[in-house]
Amino acid sequence: MRVIAGKARRLPLETVPGLDTRPTTDRIKETLFNILQGDLYGIRFLDLFAGSGGIGIEALSRGARYACFVDSSRAASDCIRRNLAFTHLADCADVMQCDVLSALARLEGQEPFQIIFMDPPYGRALERDVLETIARRRPSFLAEDTTIIVEADLRTDFSYAETLGYEIRREKEYKTNKHVFLGLAEENT
């Protein structure tokens, strides 16, 4: 795994040992960031279930001004910190070692994130828990134009999103997984 583009281009990233994390492949990461490229400069980026931090680090490398990484695993959080130090991006990032729902509560009151990315473990409906929490609380870190991107298994159903006040803006499918781009529905902004 490596940083694909930007100021940390080509630098290799450490991954978390074992099977508890599932790093996004370089090909899928490149496709995702080709979609996002025009929206990254100067933004705040929130990386939930961050694993080794590859997605948030790519966002920083490509021009995001700040990224917050959240993962409950000590091994993952330590890996993210090492990757941030190695890529010289640690000064514009924070790492929160806690569960994602606790992190959402702790982030209340912060400046809005323009992009929230999450890659939860598949098959446990964690993405739904996060989306419900955000919809219910409407935290200060969620702006009208915030894009929420969920990396999920191809079979993951998002038909509930509209009832929570989201609209699916885009869906990009790969062989075994997909990225779902959500935003607040117009009538909810």
**Model pLDDT for residues 102-142, shown as the tens digit of each residue:** 999 999 999 999 999 999 998 898 999 999 999 998 888 99
Q: Is pLDDT at 186 greater than 60 in this prediction? A: yes
pLDDT of residue 6: 78
Domain 35-188 has CATH 3.40.50.1820: no
Residue 138 confidence (pLDDT)? 84
pLDDT(57) > 90: yes
pLDDT band at 91 (very low <50, low <70, confident <90, very high): very high
Which residue, 119, 155, 150, 142, is CA-closest to 188?
142
User: Tokens for 30?
Assistant: 């490149």
Please tell me whether residue 138 adopts helix, strand or coil conformation.
Answer: coil
Runs of H (alpha helix) within the chain: 26-36, 54-61, 74-86, 100-106, 126-137
Domain edges within the chain = 35-188
- Provide the pLDDT for residue 11: 77
The model carries a pTM of 0.93
Q: Is residue 50 over pLDDT 60?
A: yes
Q: Is the pLDDT confidence value at 19 over 60?
A: no
